[in-house]
Structure 1
Amino acid sequence: MANRTETDGLGPIDVPQTALWGAQTQRSLRYFSIGQELIPREMIESYAILKRACAVANAASGRLAKEKADLIIRICDEIMSGMHDRHFPLHVWMTGSGTQFNMNVNEVIANRASQITGQKLGSKKPLHPNDDVNMAQSTNDTFPSAMYIASALTTHRRLIPALERLQGAIAHKAAQWKHIVKVGRTHLQDAVPITLGQEWEGYAGMLEDNLQRLEQARDGLFPLALGGTALGTGVNTDPQFATRACKEIARLTHLDFSSGTNKFALQGAHDALVHLSSTLRTLAGSLFKIANDIRLLACGPRAGLGELNLPVNEPGSSIMPGKINPTQAEALTMLCLQVMGNDVVVGMGGAGGMLDMNAYKPLMIQNIMQSLTLLHDGMENFRCFLIEGTTANEEHIRKQLDHSLVLVTALSPSIGYDKASQVAHHAVEHGLSPRQSALALGFMTGEEYDRVANPKLMLQPNITPPKA
């Protein structure tokens, strides 16, 4: 492959002739070719948004010539469209500040400017990657700001809508099944009656709570470190830079980004990202429970609970003909465990900042973006290929209810806990129904039993207090 020579503060280095990156990016490729994980692609768009906003702010202050700012804006628009993704080849496992990725962005913008204006690649004309593209910036404030932008945008654009769709699909099933009375279970043992709709209302409510948590966590990402430069002091910026740049970021993203009031806190730690990650872990826990419940309720179909019929998407076995497995639930629970593991890493990375800067930034954003992607994709598949096609096995549910002991609880207010317990044990020992057992023991008449042991009366508060 033909090369050209570029230079940085350490001297010359060969760069592939057609690459838009420059010397510092090439050094990173040489010394940090570790693993297969690249800096998350969402960071490319976020950095382009940030660089565009900085150019607007620097032009407004008069520090950056209008023609240079316009060129940066044009190229950032190209990057935001995905036009130059192949020129961002850096790995996650690099410097903990992300400096080389910031320089990767600066160099691509500078070299693309040279390309547009007919200058030689690497000439740093008409834009210098540090003096012009990186004006009023440091990696220490831009990389965390780009992390916050990427995380907030992905949460807002992808995760929250996917969660809303899944929550809506589950709520629809809950409404559809509100009339189906079934056996409720605690400790995996028969408990009291509940409707299938009420059970699924619980799932819908869990996801509704997660929506609120996610929105709060997203909003916590809006104050940005941008303008703090190296340590939070704002050295090499003008007094209006941070406000102007963050206002432009808010305009470009349609989210309420702002200049953070305490940039020392924002640069020394990234607690808002840790909070977002913990919220993703909480969502993963809810999804894990829901998926496990559904595959348990569907287990069988003839030798298990068999209350739900899951969609038949693919053969479940290479040796057992006709076997169908709850594969969407299995995929969702696996990715939920990965998200939980990612949160451990993000928490440790967030706690690992030393003195005035956190040096675990690429690790943190890698794990957060993977969690966001997995949760989005997993929820979409779970909704489309399992939830929407699941049906209730009403006949089987009714038979289970008829043969269960769940109605015994309704007897306690009438005959007392001890006698009701005797009814249950006598029914089990002699293979009787609860009604037959209560009558055999002489605790109730048939009319009394039928009046108090109606399962539909057990689906809400059902005791009339005595008159004063």
Structure 2
Amino acid sequence: MIQTNVRIEHDLLGEREIPNDAYWGIHTLRALENYPITGKTIGSYPDLVHALAHIKKASAEANLQLGLLSKEKTNYITKACDRILAGEFHTEFVVDVIQGGAGTSTNMNANEVITNIALEIAGHSKGDYRYLHPLNDVNMSQSTNDVYPSSIKLAAVFSIRGLLSALKSLQMSFRKKSEEFKDILKIGRTQLQDAVPMTLGQEFSTYDVMLGEDISRLKEATSLIGEINLGATAIGTGINTDIRYSKIVTEILAKQTGFDLNAAPNLIEATQDTGAFVQLSGVLKRIATKLSKVCNDLRLLSSGPQGGFNEINLPAKAAGSSIMPGKVNPIIPEVVNQIAYEVIGNDITITMAAEAGQLQLNAFEPIIAHSLFKSIEHLTAGCKTLEINCIEGITANRELLESRVKTSAGLATALNPYIGYENATLVAKRALAENRSVESIVLELGLLEEKKLKEILRPEILTSPHSL
């Protein structure tokens, strides 16, 4: 027998040669030729591959329960899916993540890979679809239009677990710094102008609280994507499925993954509606926007060291210039700023793609998926590097901060209840004009006794509400 390194497969367009060592087939080959777009394959998103394997496994088991698929075929399909879930064969998911066809090529790629793994397990040759067929068996009771959006949602839930973990860890890092800096007085600012005293710990505690709020919003958004449309098939009418399939497959998938999943009450609506992705992306944009604001603060507070604020020191991570000796830049906040800009851009892409859906299907879910996964992936990485390479190593210039408080005209605000707004304004103007402390001018003008003045200007009085 002549051995060749290719096999012949066919589809509605004709026959093609497929490399014998490839677990994908002719439909995947067409996609490889049609979509040389990003060079980033669906296999580069492990969570998406795992989601597809989970759905194909759950579908096989549901079809077995319904008496539609034999026990033998179900066994081979589930074994193939389990190997993918164990991390094997991800390099066989070769279709570009951005593709036409509303994700059909992704579904075809998954069907073919799972089928050919299963065929080998059963002792048959790859491509010998007489024994197990990628569409008749692995894709039974399914359509791209319910598999693909469900896999995106499931993959998003997988990915968000990592982002939540990174956010919580970063939040704790800010909390530790707020405790470390709780006794360091400084001048707060509004509109980049000196305002009133606060502690550096209070400043860092706001970042802790901000992240906590974002964690709550992300959990809420995640709960919304637990509604899936498996059983909808082509447009949501459930054609070619048993009436019991949607409920059964969703219950099996929820048990497999441990996630709180539920079947959409109206599968026609769920098949065309991408609102959950818009909602989730909006939360990711919120997180990115606030992280970027924090990084702007860190860059400003550490600016200098001689010509800027110089209130805190960010850890030095790299030489800052090829021409200026000794220069060190805030590179970690800068990279997080850039991630934020990307996430904001991804949100616009997702918004436009969701809006462009027509009638019973949105054809642009591939770009939604790509944009969503990039945002989650890069935000997760950004949180980790911000914590490890920046926040953990921040130190405060304590003496400089305290000296600025003592000479700040902003202290005059604390005297309003005791000497009146007009007198306090006079004191502030003289302090600035004469480069003197507020305390010395108040005593010189006889507006308060020294004992009372020192009591008013105690740190705990300056930085929190108290009885007047």
In 1, Cα distance between equivalents of 2:422 and 2:271: 64
Specify the alignment match of 2:115 in structure 1: 110
Quick check: 1:270–1:350 contact (8 Å CA) kept in 2?
A: yes
In 2, Cα distance between equivalents of 1:448 and 1:112: 83
Specify the alignment match of 1:97 in structure 2: 102
In 1, Cα distance between equivalents of 2:379 and 2:69: 42
Specify the alignment match of 1:383 in structure 2: 387
Q: Does 1:32 align with 2:35?
A: yes
Counterpart amino acid of 1:20?
Y
Deviation at 1:20, TM superposition (A): 0.8
* TM-score calculated relative to the size of structure 2: 0.96
Deviation at 1:255, TM superposition (A): 1.0
Secondary structure, counterpart of 1:98 in structure 2: helix
What are structure 2's unaligned runs of at least 5 residues?
A: none
Structure 2 residue corresponding to 1:60, chosen from 40, 65, 74: 65
Specify the alignment match of 2:81 in structure 1: 76
Deviation readout 1:303-350 (Å, 9 max, x if unpaired):
221111211222222222222211111111111110111011011111
Q: Which runs of 4+ in 1 moved over 6 A?
A: none
Specify the alignment match of 1:134 in structure 2: 139
Structure-to-structure mapping, 1:276-291, within 5 angstroms? 276-291=280-295
Quick check: 1:147–1:365 contact (8 Å CA) kept in 2?
A: yes
Structure 1 residue corresponding to 2:343, chosen from 333, 339, 342: 339
Deviation at 1:430, TM superposition (A): 1.8
Counterpart amino acid of 2:228?
L
Q: Does 1:11 align with 2:14?
A: yes
Counterpart amino acid of 2:34?
Y
Aligned length: 463
Secondary structure, counterpart of 2:131 in structure 1: coil
Deviation at 1:124, TM superposition (A): 0.7
Structure 1 residue corresponding to 2:369, chosen from 365, 389, 409: 365
Structure 2 residue corresponding to 1:297, chosen from 298, 301, 307: 301
In 2, Cα distance between equivalents of 1:436 and 1:28: 78
Specify the alignment match of 1:228 in structure 2: 232
Out of 48-57 and 392-401, give the one that drifted further.
Answer: 392-401
In 1, Cα distance between equivalents of 2:226 and 2:399: 52
Structure 2 residue corresponding to 1:461, chosen from 451, 462, 465: 465
Deviation readout 1:28-84 (Å, 9 max, x if unpaired):
112222232323342211100100000110001111000100100000011112211
In 1, Cα distance between equivalents of 2:279 and 2:429: 50
Counterpart amino acid of 1:408?
A
In 1, Cα distance between equivalents of 2:269 and 2:417: 59
Specify the alignment match of 1:325 in structure 2: 329
Quick check: 2:410–2:428 contact (8 Å CA) kept in 1?
A: no
In 1, Cα distance between equivalents of 2:241 and 2:375: 35
What are structure 1's unaligned runs of at least 5 residues?
A: none
Quick check: 2:332–2:390 contact (8 Å CA) kept in 1?
A: yes
Deviation at 1:450, TM superposition (A): 2.3
Specify the alignment match of 2:223 in structure 1: 219
Specify the alignment match of 2:448 in structure 1: 444
Structure 2 residue corresponding to 1:202, chosen from 201, 206, 216: 206
Deviation at 1:442, TM superposition (A): 3.9
Structure-to-structure mapping, 1:420-435, within 5 angstroms? 420-435=424-439
Specify the alignment match of 2:254 in structure 1: 250
In 1, Cα distance between equivalents of 2:400 and 2:264: 58
Specify the alignment match of 2:378 in structure 1: 374
In 2, Cα distance between equivalents of 1:89 and 1:99: 13
Secondary structure, counterpart of 2:115 in structure 1: helix
In 1, Cα distance between equivalents of 2:437 and 2:172: 39
Specify the alignment match of 1:403 in structure 2: 407
In 2, Cα distance between equivalents of 1:19 and 1:100: 16
Secondary structure, counterpart of 1:202 in structure 2: helix
Secondary structure, counterpart of 2:15 in structure 1: strand
Quick check: 1:407–1:455 contact (8 Å CA) kept in 2?
A: no
How large is the Cα RMSD of the aligned pairs?
1.5
Specify the alignment match of 1:349 in structure 2: 353
Q: Does 1:259 align with 2:263?
A: yes
Q: Does 1:415 align with 2:431?
A: no
In 1, Cα distance between equivalents of 2:41 and 2:113: 17
Quick check: 1:96–1:358 contact (8 Å CA) kept in 2?
A: no
Secondary structure, counterpart of 1:97 in structure 2: helix
Deviation at 1:17, TM superposition (A): 2.1
Out of 220-229 and 122-131, give the one that drifted further.
Answer: 122-131
Structure-to-structure mapping, 1:158-173, within 5 angstroms? 158-173=162-177
Deviation readout 1:342-382 (Å, 9 max, x if unpaired):
01101111111100000111100000000000000110011
Deviation at 1:96, TM superposition (A): 4.2
In 2, Cα distance between equivalents of 1:320 and 1:430: 37
